[in-house]
Structure 1
Amino acid sequence: MSATRSPKVADRVAPKAGEPQPPKKKKARDEDDGPDFKTLFHAWIESHRASLIDSLRRLGRQPIGSFFTCLVMAVALSLPMGLSLLLNNVERLGGSWQRAAQISLYLDMQAGERDGEALVVQIKGLPGVADAEFVSREAALQEFQQQSGLGEALKELPDNPLPGVIVVTPQEVDKATLEALRQQLAELPKVKQAQLDLVWVERLSAILKLGDRFVFGLTVLLVSALLLVIGNTIRLHIENRRIEIEVIKLVGGTDSYVRRPFLYMGALYGFGAGLLAWAVLAFGLDWLNGAVVGLAGLYGSDFALAGVPSSDGLSLLLGAILLGYIGAWIAVARHLRELAPK
């Protein structure tokens, strides 16, 4: 038998001369193309998830140490925030400060009660005025008799020497604003003299500025201490994993891959510290509020300390997380060069 192939088999093996070549199948993906964006994104998410879980697991292995680290950070965070909240509560006593900075308008001796009431209505309509109250001559004399203890001697006077007074309460406790308002009130009819205790206003403004600067300085100092605490804590974690990190860098691990778990650890420390600081502030203000309410009641006031606003609490929490992240970044950046494989 001849070893020739059948025509059908030959046709399938090689096309005849002059016939078009069959189209080649396209590859599903060129060999030079890398992974697409979706694959890279999922890999990035998985890497961050693994780093977060690993950081949580490592913190969970040392619950007492992690708790006390967060507690130290919470104390450093709660001190300046607590002082700031106390200043805000003190500013809520604006009504008392406004009464201390009241403008007294002494009327002419000929001005009667109708003139005084008419001036009160006019003054209340002026900008920068929170309230105005008219004190008649008789009421002023009676009050002076009670406060001075010279009631019997004053009764011997032939006429009432005290004029009518309008007490004006300003809206803002500011030296320049109060002086402009005093000059405006002094030009009103029936007003003989407008008196304002600017020395008290200056002292009050100086006290508030001193409080603000003290809080700012304390905040800078404690934030620096907080960064040191975070940096030292992360440094200890780095030393405990030195051999593991060196092996990772030997097999080609990038700095960002090595850095990521420690950044999550710093953010977790900050998150725990923020929650503890929020709780400490809420408990501290509530505990202090009992004494404040009792003291205010002795002066006939219903003043009470306000709690921690939700916005301030969230700002504290986010700030703590950010500080933990920054502290961890500084610590890792400092020691990462030392972990290069020899």
Structure 2
Amino acid sequence: MSAGRVTPNQPGERVGATAKHTVAPTLSDTRGFRHQLRAWLENHRASFKDSLSRLVRQPLGSFFTCLVMAVALSLPMGLALLLENVSQLGGSWQRAAQISLFLELDSGDTYGELLRDKIAEHEHVAEAQWISREQALAEFQEHSGLGEALRELPDNPLPGSILVTPEMIDKDTLVALLDELKNMPKVEQAQLDLMWIERLAAILQMGDHFIFALSVLLIAALLLVVGNTIRLHIENRRVEIEVIKLVGGTDGYVRRPFLYMGVLYGLAGGVLAWLLLAFGLEWLNASVVQLAQLYGSEFSLSGVSLEDGFSLLLGAVLLGYIAAWLAVARHLRELLPR
């Protein structure tokens, strides 16, 4: 076997072939990527500018569409904020949900104060107040109108008591706390108006369900409104879209301006909804403060926080985007070049 022949176990080499080497990215490839990125950004900028100009050229129609979105967005958000403000009447509700512990008559003030301090350290207790027998008798004489009759009694018949303010209003937690407190030494009786707590929880739960159902209905209405508006824009540009698809335009290229239009509708509607809520709550707050002062309370409505406002804007933009996507996806397959 000659040295020049290639055996089956030896790798062959094509005559005139160059040696294999790894191709490194050249400067022209980098410039090509930058050019594609610049073209992509320029296309998005042009689509955004075109969508914005079309909305500006129809100010009245665009404003009413955004106003409808604002009203639909502000209704459930406003009700949720009102329910949250009502829930923040925690001080008044907690006082109404206080647990009254009546101690045995032979319990002195020293034991009552020690028991009060022990109860105040409980994780589910916000505050504990000790009312001595003398203080309880003085308050009863003042509010009952039986002062003269009570002074004729040989002994004070009223026991010392501890008013326990719970940390939170929850039926199961309150029941467990009541069972724990009434089993403490020298506690003769423990009282809690559970029926009132159940009614309050039912009212709050009903409010939550109502707001959820209203939100679902209004979100569906928003999708229909924005989707129908985008559909009208599509019909107005049918010939233009058919020409674009005829020369090879992709569905993404055709879809992009309408998606930006949906986002702009959602953004403008969210801003208007935020303004409506801010001014509406401020206007309502004047009456609420006046009513609260009649009951000796300093309660007032809190406005729209930045977190709630930005959540509202984000939700509005997402709704506009989804509505535009659904509208374009439904009609895009119909816009084939004839």
Question: Under TM normalisation by the shorter chain, which class is it?
Answer: 0.7 to 0.9
Measure the CA separation in 1 of the matches of 2:299 and 2:115. Answer: 31
**Unpaired runs of at least 5, structure 2:** 1-24
Match of 2:156 among 156, 160, 163: 160
Which residue in 1 is equivalent to 2:188?
A: 192
Q: Does 1:299 align with 2:295?
A: yes
Give the aligned residue type for 2:224.
L
- After TM superposition, the score normalised by the length of structure 1 is 0.87
Give the aligned residue type for 1:313.
G
Q: CA deviation at 1:330?
A: 0.6
Match of 2:37 among 38, 41, 55: 41
Which residue in 1 is equivalent to 2:120?
A: 124
Q: Does 1:182 align with 2:178?
A: yes
Which residue in 2 is equivalent to 1:3?
A: none
Measure the CA separation in 2 of the matches of 1:125 and 1:253. Answer: 71
Match of 2:244 among 237, 242, 248: 248
Q: CA deviation at 1:136?
A: 1.8
Equivalent position SS for 2:334: helix
| Per-residue Cα deviation, 1:107-139 (whole angstroms, up to 9, x for no partner) | 111122222222211211222111011112232
Q: CA deviation at 1:276?
A: 0.4
Give the aligned residue type for 1:240.
N
Which residue in 1 is equivalent to 2:20?
A: none
Q: Does 1:217 align with 2:213?
A: yes
**Unpaired runs of at least 5, structure 1:** 1-28
Which residue in 2 is equivalent to 1:73?
A: 69
Which residue in 2 is equivalent to 1:236?
A: 232
Measure the CA separation in 2 of the matches of 1:256 and 1:151. Answer: 86
| Per-residue Cα deviation, 1:11-33 (whole angstroms, up to 9, x for no partner) | xxxxxxxxxxxxxxxxxx99xx9
Q: Does 1:279 align with 2:262?
A: no
Equivalent position SS for 2:101: strand
Q: CA deviation at 1:230?
A: 0.2
Equivalent position SS for 2:188: strand
Which residue in 1 is equivalent to 2:85?
A: 89
Of stretches 203-212 and 260-269 in structure 1, the one that deviates more from structure 2 is 203-212
Which residue in 2 is equivalent to 1:147?
A: 143
| Per-residue Cα deviation, 1:83-123 (whole angstroms, up to 9, x for no partner) | 11111111211111111111100011112222222221121
Of stretches 90-99 and 137-146 in structure 1, the one that deviates more from structure 2 is 137-146
Match of 2:100 among 97, 100, 104: 104
Measure the CA separation in 2 of the matches of 1:159 and 1:121. Answer: 28
Measure the CA separation in 1 of the matches of 2:257 and 2:283. Answer: 39
Give the aligned residue type for 1:277.
A
Equivalent position SS for 1:338: coil
Q: How many residues align?
A: 312
Give the aligned residue type for 2:204.
L
Q: Does 1:257 align with 2:250?
A: no
Measure the CA separation in 2 of the matches of 1:170 and 1:193. Answer: 17
Of stretches 214-223 and 106-115 in structure 1, the one that deviates more from structure 2 is 106-115
Alpha-carbon RMSD across the aligned residues, in angstroms, is: 1.9
Identity value in percent: 68
